[in-house]
Amino acid sequence: MVFEKTGDPLKCRERPIPTPGDNEILIAVKACGICRTDLHIYEGDLSQGKRPLVLGHEIVGMALTLGKNVQGISVGDRIGVPWLGKSCGRCPYCRVGRENLCDLPVFTGYDIDGGYAEYTLADYQYCFKIPEIYSDAEAAPLLCAGLIGYRALRMAGEAKRIGLYGFGAAAHIGAQIAIHEEKEVYAFTRPGDLLAQNFAKNMGAVWAGDSDTAVPEILDTAILFAPVGALIPLALKNIKKGGTVVCAGIHMSMIPAFSYDLLWGERILRSVANLTRQDGIDFFKIAPQIPVRTEIQTFPLEAADDALASLKEGKIQGAAVLVLNS
């Protein structure tokens, strides 16, 4: 399913099966999660990427053919491909283990073709083995929503009470990790979205309510998964002195001006960007131990447009996943 330009639906195209380079694996895609970032690319909020483009950076598939340098992965292995498709290894960030901030990164389903397809290529050094307890479709959202939820939680620092704004794919995974660590989760949704609020309570949130309301207890930290800048002053208002507001999305609408009082008291406002391979190694180790479960809604590959529309309208409970039946 090929993205050609903003405003056009994805086009179903027959293409030759790609040939892997020396460091690449040819992968038969089994499932590909749909991330909000895909929606930002599709709608033109992020416009720097390749065109035409195959979206998708939460890929689970089977290794079919290996380039000559590939090590540690065999034909037939199940592997996952995340958003970080490649980093340069030489820039000041890569040199200190902060490859998520690489100056010359290559992102899957943005700079190179991704997983809304039957076949894709990936650099073996950026792939992960998928824990056995997950089906292909259940595992797909772990590759971005899971990793970002995990990284955002780490960036939130020491906290007992955590507010999660936007209870979608990343939050429902982050909540499980937080609850496992004996933290209390407070879920904020679009005003009046009782379905999402019930979903959050079923996932173990101690409180769920509208994003424009104050919480019963002052929070230690808040993570914004919703791409809505207007939530930042609201979240700052809900956290204690010294607390952190983490913005976990790649794009956000404009942040309204707000009084410095909201930031005063050593409150911290920060973003979290991309992932490192170490995040993936750490996350895929703890996810099956907790165990993190993913709530998914599946779509056939040809229905990728419908899936993106459902995500935009807030109709997806948990994560949307394209499933390939080949």
Q: Would you tell me which residues interact with Zn ion (CB under 5 A)?
A: 35, 37, 87-88, 91, 94, 102, 144
With 0-12 CB in 10 A as exposed, 13-18 as middle and 19+ as buried, what is 198?
middle
Cα separation, 243 vs 180, in Å, equals 21
User: C-beta of 8: minimal distance to Zn ion in Å?
Assistant: 22
User: C-beta of 236: minimal distance to Zn ion in Å?
Assistant: 25
Nearer to Zn ion, 87 or 238 (CB): 87
Nearer to Zn ion, 70 or 144 (CB): 144
User: C-beta of 88: minimal distance to Zn ion in Å?
Assistant: 3
Nearer to Zn ion, 102 or 311 (CB): 102
Nearer to Zn ion, 159 or 250 (CB): 250
Nearer to Zn ion, 159 or 275 (CB): 275
User: C-beta of 216: minimal distance to Zn ion in Å?
Assistant: 32
Nearer to Zn ion, 56 or 243 (CB): 56
User: C-beta of 304: minimal distance to Zn ion in Å?
Assistant: 15
Q: What angle do CA 193, 198, 201 make, to 5 degrees?
A: 130
Nearer to Zn ion, 89 or 265 (CB): 89
CB atoms within 10 A of CB 258: 14
User: C-beta of 64: minimal distance to Zn ion in Å?
Assistant: 24
Contact by Cβ (8 Å): 79, 63: yes
User: C-beta of 15: minimal distance to Zn ion in Å?
Assistant: 23
Cα separation, 138 vs 31, in Å, equals 9
Burial profile 233-242: b = 16 or more Cβ within 10 angstroms, e = fewer: bbbbbbbeee
To the nearest 10°, the Cα dihedral for 250, 252, 254, 259? -90
Residue 290 DSSP class: T
Integer angstrom CA distances of residue 178 from 28, 48, 174, 224, 295: 34, 34, 6, 15, 17
Cα separation, 78 vs 130, in Å, equals 6
